[in-house]
Structure 1
Amino acid sequence: MKLSSIVVTLILTVGVSYYVYTPLPAAIEEPLKLMLLDALFRAMMQVGDLCQCLGLSHHITVIRGTISGLESLGEIAGGQRGGVRVSDVDFDRVPVRVYEPPAAGGGEGGLRRAVMFYHGGGWALGATKMGSYDVLCRQMSDELNAVVVSVEYRLAPEVHFPVQYEDCLAAAKHFLEPGILGKLSVDPQRVAVSGDSAGGNLAAAVAQQISVDDSVSVKFSVQALIYPVLQGLDLNTPSHQQNHNIPILHRFIMARFWLLYLGVDTSLHPLLLSPSFLHHPSIPPSVRSHLNWTTLLPAKHIKHYKPVGMETGSQEVTGQEGDLLPGLLDVRAAPLLAKQGVLGRTPRAYILTCEYDVLRDDGLMYTRRLQDAGVTVSSRHYDDGFHGALSFAHWPFFFDVGKRMIRGYMDWLQENL
């Protein structure tokens, strides 16, 4: 009996170790912690897929419930900022959480800065009340003496593009109304729009629309994008190839999030990952030029990678493929595809990218396109960073690189907003 227990324990140990272990680049610090986090996320995805296959629940619902349960195990230590007042209200029928600093003012006439923030989560996960986002918004409000508005936009699979974008745009237009800004003692010349990952996508798209909408009198003064996802046509950029299996955003998971967002059958993810997809005849050459990484990326990020798939891009669009392309070609979903004239009207930017992130090249290409359009961009690249790191700067999964990202982000807003 004793020997059998030892054998079972050994088998379980080897099995768990095999599941948890993922080869990681040497530059990533705290690798074991990242492996454990990635294993947890993969397990949630797999349990969710199983539940969906059995007809018990949508896999996203399972993941949301698991994340909520994990958060309920313990509040993030040191996360509360007692002086910040928090209220949950609606902006044009869109739920938002408003953070107001304790100080009466900080600028001319006692007016304060403001930040409109969109959380990440693949347009399907995340919430304003989620611990990491709540802590970040409280910290911004306290340190920057700013009114922070975190938007609770609707999520997939319950809704699909363009609903998430429309929720974020509606909330932004409401917030930028002079009467609302005045009521909150906000300086109309010091309002930022910001977001991480899918939230960075929404922030970039909203910033573009607000910048060209003449009916909006107050414009955003800066945009701060944290490892944003900015296009879904080319999931074979150097960063997608290099980091296809790096936690926590694997390449195939990014493809599934795109399909969820666009309301297309997630079984089509092989099509989206296909090297020939970008070279489909239905995609205009002018669009491909807006994400031509051979000219938009610095050589150090291109490395040895080369464009692939051109010779096989001759198939016609049929069935669900035809449903997929319109969304991926829509600049509201893919801000990287915007024309230079639109980009040139957007506010100065802060763009954070991570070396070990499939989305790295989206941010770097957007940096170059904005600069070419005459926009001042502060590009902050973390050579040891990975996707989502900024959200893991607190208990239980805290990473030093996440803390450094928050500090750099805060310092830039302090100096530029």
Structure 2
Amino acid sequence: MEVDGRSAVEVEMQTYFLQCRTMAEELDAVVISIEYRLAPEARFPDQYNDALEASKRILTAEVLDRYSIDPERVAVSGDSAGANLAAAVAQRMALDNSIPIKFKVQALLYPVLQALDFNTPSYQQNGNIPILHRPLMARFWLEYLNGDPTLVPALLANNHTALNQGQEIAAAKAKINWTQLLPAAVQKNFKPVVPLQGDPKLVEMLPGLLDVRASPLLAELDVLKAVPPAYILTCEHDVLRDEGLMYGRRLEEAGVAVSIDHYEDGFHGCTSFAFGPFRFSVGFRSFGNYIQWLIKNL
């Protein structure tokens, strides 16, 4: 697809540039966008390692002083896959005692946080809603984890978390048990999808499914207790809605201050639609409220 002679990728990158520039102006802050490697040329954990190493480098007295950054007012943020990396890096950095400078807050916009349950209420409700269809999300995970794309149907059926998959899977599933973590109003009449029999080789082929660096929602309680206060933006018309809500609930249970900003008319990627050739009211509102939260909390 082209817009004004530009490819869709060029338009998307221009949108992110406008977001970062606006953030810098509104917050009177230095905004550093990490250009981590992308699939298929790079696979997990390359992207995580890029984000982590860049964050470690930025959170040094030398770099912060060079750009006149207040070491007590540094945040980590991202949207979608970028929010996945932001959450994972925030967890790792919070526990690294060799890094004296810490993130003050984390801000996660419609984050990707788990790949064990492709049948949460939001996946069931919004499976065919643009711009992030349910099969597309499974395909993205397989691409990230260097998995065979023919495994999409198996992931969508939750065959990797069937009852016969063992104790490790059972322990991980307890951390994303949406019947416990989501309010009844969100669960509606949706039922969990838990096959009796699955393919035991799935997790062997995709070990990243249980890796907290890929799925921050699976973090242990002692890790969650250490992370900075969080802002989590979720959208009603998004397959990822429940991951953000569940992460917020787990953080609250760990004693972390959490601000959930939910948009009933929101969809995946909506903040980007405050910029560029296609603009929506929810894009202006969500991006504006995100900035206001950072102004108040950073």
Q: TM-score, normalised by structure 1?
A: 0.68
Q: Which runs of 5+ in 1 are unaligned?
A: 1-65, 75-124
Alpha-carbon distance, 1:278 to partner:
2.1
Provide the rounded CA distance (Å) in 1 between the counterparts of 2:257 and 2:103.
Answer: 14
Please list the CA deviations of residues 233-258 of structure 1 after superposition, one character each: whole Å capped at 9, or x if unmatched.
Answer: 10000000000001100000000000
Alpha-carbon distance, 1:317 to partner:
2.0
2:106 — aligned with what? 223
Instruction: Select the residue among 275, 298, 323 that pairs with 2:205.
Output: 323
Alpha-carbon distance, 1:309 to partner:
2.4
Is 1:177–2:60 an aligned residue pair? yes
Q: Which runs of 5+ in 2 are unaligned?
A: none
Q: How does 1:44-193 map to 2 (within 5 A)?
A: 66=1, 69-70=2-3, 72-73=5-6, 130-193=13-76
Provide the rounded CA distance (Å) in 1 between the counterparts of 2:74 and 2:16.
Answer: 19
Provide the rounded CA distance (Å) in 2 between the counterparts of 1:172 and 1:73.
Answer: 32
Instruction: Select the residue among 198, 206, 215 that pairs with 2:81.
Output: 198
1:63 — aligned with what? none
Is 1:281–2:214 an aligned residue pair? no
What letter matches 2:109 in structure 1? Answer: I
Alpha-carbon distance, 1:302 to partner:
0.4
Instruction: Select the residue among 310, 322, 333 that pairs with 2:214.
Output: 333
Instruction: Select the residue among 240, 250, 259 that pairs with 1:378.
Output: 259
What letter matches 1:303 in structure 2? Answer: K
Alpha-carbon distance, 1:184 to partner:
0.8
> Is residue 344–residue 375 contact of structure 1 (8 Å, CA) maintained in 2?
yes
Provide the rounded CA distance (Å) in 2 between the counterparts of 1:127 and 1:292.
Answer: 39
Percent identity over the alignment? 55
Provide the rounded CA distance (Å) in 1 between the counterparts of 2:4 and 2:30.
Answer: 25
Measured on the aligned residues, the alpha-carbon RMSD in Å equals 1.8
What letter matches 1:309 in structure 2? Answer: V
1:292 — aligned with what? 177
Greater Cα radius of gyration, structure 1 or 2: 1
Distance 1:258 1:348, change over 3 A: same
Count of paired positions: 296
What letter matches 1:266 in structure 2? Answer: P
Provide the rounded CA distance (Å) in 2 between the counterparts of 1:128 and 1:190.
Answer: 31
Determine helix, strand or coil for the equivalent of 2:21: helix
Alpha-carbon distance, 1:285 to partner:
2.3
Q: How does 1:294-309 map to 2 (within 5 A)?
A: 294-309=179-194
Provide the rounded CA distance (Å) in 2 between the counterparts of 1:126 and 1:214.
Answer: 39
Question: As a proportion of its length, which structure holds more strand?
Answer: 1
Is 1:411–2:296 an aligned residue pair? no
Q: How does 1:254-265 map to 2 (within 5 A)?
A: 254-265=137-148
Provide the rounded CA distance (Å) in 2 between the counterparts of 1:129 and 1:316.
Answer: 38
> Is residue 128–residue 150 contact of structure 1 (8 Å, CA) maintained in 2?
no
Provide the rounded CA distance (Å) in 2 between the counterparts of 1:381 and 1:403.
Answer: 14
Alpha-carbon distance, 1:395 to partner:
3.3
Is 1:401–2:286 an aligned residue pair? no
Is 1:233–2:166 an aligned residue pair? no
Determine helix, strand or coil for the equivalent of 2:31: strand
Provide the rounded CA distance (Å) in 1 between the counterparts of 2:125 and 2:188.
Answer: 10
> Is residue 236–residue 275 contact of structure 1 (8 Å, CA) maintained in 2?
yes
Greater RCO, CA 8 A, separation 6+: 2
Determine helix, strand or coil for the equivalent of 1:202: helix
Provide the rounded CA distance (Å) in 2 between the counterparts of 1:149 and 1:274.
Answer: 39
Q: How does 1:15-26 map to 2 (within 5 A)?
A: none
Distance 1:415 1:177, change over 3 A: same
